[in-house]
Amino acid sequence: MNIHNKKRILFLEDRQFYSTFVNLEQLSETFTLSFDGGRFDDVNELKNFDLVIFSIYSSYKFNLLVIKLKNLGIPSLLMFDGVSEFSNFLNNKHLKSKSMINYHPIISDMALVVGHSAKQYFEVSNCLVGQYMPLHMSQGDKRIDMCKDTRVMITTANTAYHTQREFNLLLSSLKEVISFFESMQVEFFFRIFDKSLIEELNIDQDRNCLSGSFQESLSNASHVVTTPSSISLTAMYHNRPVMHLIYRDFPSYFQSGWQYISGVSDKTTFMSFIESDEHFMKFQFKEVSSNYDVDDVDIEIKNLLSKYKYSDSSRISEFENNILYKMLDSRYNINFEYAIRKVYWKLKGTKLNKIVRNLRNKIVNRD
């Protein structure tokens, strides 16, 4: 540990990457922050830090650095960027191509996750786990005013399916929900970025609100229908009745007040949803409380560091032997990976990145 009054934290990604995760100015009042640690090749350059934080679990280089940190006795922390989701754990094609299961195992000493249930889940793996809420899921304590008119937003997570079967089931559920709202003469609009869903649902671009942030679109909605994701928890935080589309047989780390299950849900379900039934809203308030009632990130990190004790973790050995060293023999490969990520972070949100993402989705849907 260093001799400075403030402990030093190194983030492996760049500063902009974390700007939507945490209030960096507030965090810097407690810790001395450095960024772009992924550029380091010599592990000795990491010895001056008291904690190393990263978020890209799939990065070979980052995981190799975590193993080297373990040998030096320097703690590492994996910070989740949103809610946990089982299909993303097991069916993520990008991770499968690397012979990895997303977030399994967590080889870092600590983790900051979103939600109480996720915290309990990962604690079973003997990892020090804290709970936090990313800035992009709340944007502070201010609630977005409710839309005066009844207007439903139909949306999905950025990656709402990982297999063709999931795509088909999601598409079927969306068609059924749209049919219900049309028969009830309920006004609705879309916020769907996935080109395949847009084409299959024949969504007119004038009804698809893609500009601005999710929070900005939420100001025009009184209710939200979506897949279980970070945005559904955000919508509940802002007091919107939320209906989850249930098209997977996986556990969920949090629930919305309403569920749409094909063949089970009926007009009574939709009437309760549109009328914002107080009993279901009370359930949502409970979910918001258990997930958002957390300490500031600096307090959570200090608490985790106070509990940290160096140990040679068995969680690393199988991951290290079976995956990392088989694929990381080339220093050129891991440096190239970090360079590519840097380019992606710079392009994220630009028109070019959207074109690339649409092309990727087309390729995935053919598989």
Residue 6 gets the label, from left (phi > 0), alpha (psi -120 to 50) or beta, of: beta
Residue 360's pLDDT is: 45
CA 232, CA 230: separation in Å to the nearest integer?
Answer: 6
Residue 355 has pLDDT above 70, yes or no: no
Residue 125's pLDDT is: 78
CA 205, CA 71: separation in Å to the nearest integer?
Answer: 54
Residue 300's pLDDT is: 95
pLDDT digits (tens, 9 = 90+) for 151-204: 999 999 988 999 999 999 999 999 999 999 999 999 999 999 999 999 999 999
Structure token digits, residue 291: 């997930």
Q: What pLDDT band is residue 343 in, cutting at 50, 70 and 90?
A: low
Over residues 106-129, mean pLDDT: 90
Residue 36 has pLDDT above 70, yes or no: yes
Lowest mean pLDDT among 133-137, 290-294, 324-328: 324-328
Domain ranges of the chain: 8-132+294-366, 158-291
Comparison of pLDDT for 194 and 65, the residue scoring more: 194
Residue 141's pLDDT is: 60
Residue 7's pLDDT is: 94
Q: What pLDDT band is residue 136 in, cutting at 50, 70 and 90?
A: confident
Residue 358 has pLDDT above 60, yes or no: no
Residue 15 has pLDDT above 50, yes or no: yes
Residue 139's pLDDT is: 62
Lowest mean pLDDT among 31-40, 86-95, 293-302: 86-95
Residue 322 has pLDDT above 70, yes or no: no
Over residues 228-235, mean pLDDT: 92
pLDDT digits (tens, 9 = 90+) for 199-231: 999 999 999 999 988 989 999 999 999 999 999
Residue 325 has pLDDT above 70, yes or no: no
Lowest mean pLDDT among 70-74, 113-117, 135-139, 294-298: 135-139
Over residues 64-93, mean pLDDT: 87
Over residues 1-9, mean pLDDT: 72
